Amino acid sequence: MFAIFKREVQSFFTSSIGYMIVGLFLLLNGLFLWVFKGDFNIFEYGFADLGNLFLLAPWIFIFLVPAITMKSFSEERKVGTLELLLIKPISIWKLVLGKFWGAFLLCVIAVLPTVIYVFAISNLGMTTGNYDLGVVLGSYFGLLFLIGTYTSIGLFSSTLSDNQIVSFIIGILICFLLFNGFDAISSLFSNGETQQLLQKIGAKSHFDSIARGIIDTADLLYFISLTLFFLYLTFVRLKQLSR
């Protein structure tokens, strides 16, 4: 598994894609949070906290994570190296996990520089250091779990076609449906209980709960279960392709 993980990480940073993904994430966040006027602008928001970062980041990752994972198995299928990987003395699970951790690490590397924003908002308040560290830590924690789920979805999507663009689009659609789709569907119902039930199926309500600094076991189990579910689907799909 480590060999696959190492190969994935090297493939990201020996080409331009790794630097492009990290740079694009930081550029988009930086522009929307500090430059562009609008709902996400921290200066216009009027409060020294990073709430807007964690409102914006899940939407950016809906596009960036599928962009990272779209080549994971699609490219292997297209160039014919997937068959070689499947006949090597490595289990399919280790292959899947190696790919997963490689893509996940790249996303973590993209998020890490945003820690600078914590020091920035610390100095923006009327009282230096007057921000809720628990909420900030909870938000980062929730974002990592959400990224893990997105990554597993992206990997599964990359097994469905040998065309990277098709895999990319499928990944975006599934991530979008999971994060915001159920919230949108819930608005079609007038019954409050039905609305709450549909919202709890989606990832947004669970992410929002963790982002408020409330670390609930149910929310963590939700993301872990979804991640394992899509990793299992990836395993099943690869097993079908190996026959």
Across residues 175-190, what is the average pLDDT? 89
Q: How far is CA 92 from CA 11, 72, 81, 87, 95, in A?
A: 20, 14, 14, 10, 5
pLDDT one-digit tens code per residue, 207-216: 988 877 777 8
> How far apart, in whole angstroms, are the C-alpha atoms of residue 194 and residue 179?
17
Task: Tell me the pTM.
Answer: 0.91
Closest-CA residue to 49 (of 120, 116, 114, 155): 120
Round to whole Å and give the CA distance between 72 and 158. Answer: 6
What gap in Å lies between CA 193 and CA 148, rounded to an integer? 29
Alpha-carbon span 149 to 175, nearest angstrom:
9
Burial degree of 122 (CB within 10 A; 0-12, 13-18, 19+): middle
What residue type is 8 in one-letter code?
Answer: E
**In degrees to the nearest 10, what's the CA dihedral of 140, 144, 150, 156?**
180
Task: Kindly report, residue by residue over 103-120, the tens digit of the pLDDT.
Answer: 999 999 999 999 888 887
pLDDT at 126 over 90: no
Q: How far apart are CA 144 and CA 104, in angstroms?
A: 9
